[in-house]
Amino acid sequence: MTHMVATDTTGTDQGLVAELRALMEARAWGQRRVAELLGVSQTTLSQWLGDKYGAADAMNARVAEFLHERKEAGEGVVPAEGYTLIQEVCALCQEDCKFAVVQGNPGVGKTKALQLYAQEHDDVLYVRVDVTTTMKVLLEELVGEGAGLTNAQLMREARARLKGALIIVDEADLLAVRSLEALRAIWGDGGWCGLVLAGTPKLERLLRRGPHASENLAQLYSRVDFNVVITNPSVSDLDQYLDRAGVQDADARRLITAAGNRDSFRAAAKLLSQAQRVARLNGQGSVTGASVRAASKLIMRPHAA
The CATH code of the domain that includes 253 is 1.10.8.60
| Claim to verify: residue 105 and residue 173 sit in the same structural domain | yes
pTM, full prediction: 0.68
Contact 275, 266 (CB under 8 A): no
Write down which residue in 212, 230, 248 finishes a domain: 230
Q: How far is CA 39 from CA 43, 44, 105, in A?
A: 12, 10, 38
Asked if residue 1 belongs to a domain, the reply is no
As to burial, measured by CB atoms within 10 angstroms (0-12 exposed, 13-18 middle, 19+ buried), residue 225 is middle
Residue 135 lies in domain = 81-230
278: left (phi over 0), alpha (psi -120 to 50) or beta: alpha
Q: Sign (positive/negative) of CA torsion 50, 52, 53, 56?
A: positive
Same domain, 219 and 257: no
Query: What's the Cα-to-Cα distance from 239 to each of 38, 45, 58, 109, 260, rounded to whole Å?
Result: 32, 34, 37, 16, 11
- Does 59 reside within a domain? yes
Question: Quick one: 42 and 149 in the same domain?
Answer: no
Angle at 158 between CA 156 and CA 164, to 5 degrees: 115
- Residues 187 and 150 grouped into a single domain: yes
Do 186 and 241 share a domain, yes or no? no
Count of domains observed in the chain:
3
What is the pLDDT at residue 65?
87
Instruction: Tell me how far the alpha carbon of residue 64 is from its chain's centroid.
Output: 22
Going from the C-alpha of 66 to that of each of 37, 38, 62, 215, the distances in angstroms are 8, 7, 6, 48
The CA distance from 305 to 299, in Å, is: 10
Among the candidates 73, 90, 114, a domain finishes at 73
Angstrom distance (rounded) from CA 25 to CA 209: 41
Q: For 90-114, what is the HEC assignment? A: HHHHHHHCCEEEEEECCCCCHHHHH
Give the residue ranges of DSSP H helices in 77-198: 81-96, 110-120, 135-143, 151-161, 177-187
Q: Check whether residue 95 and residue 218 sit in a common domain.
A: yes
Beta strands in the chain (DSSP E): 99-104, 124-128, 166-170, 194-199, 226-230
Buried b / exposed e along 276-302 (16+ C-beta atoms within 10 A): bebbeeeeeeebbbbbbebbbeeeeee
Low-confidence ranges of the chain (pLDDT < 70): 1-10, 26-28, 71-80, 146-147, 210-216, 300-305
> How far apart (Å, rounded) are the C-alpha atoms in residues 255 and 262?
11
pLDDT of residue 27: 65
Q: State the pLDDT at residue 2.
A: 40
Where does a domain end: 210, 230, 250? 230
- pLDDT, residue 8, reads 45
Residue 305, pLDDT score: 38
Sheet of strand 194-199, all strands in order from the earlier edge strand to the far edge: 124-128, 166-170, 194-199, 99-104, 226-230
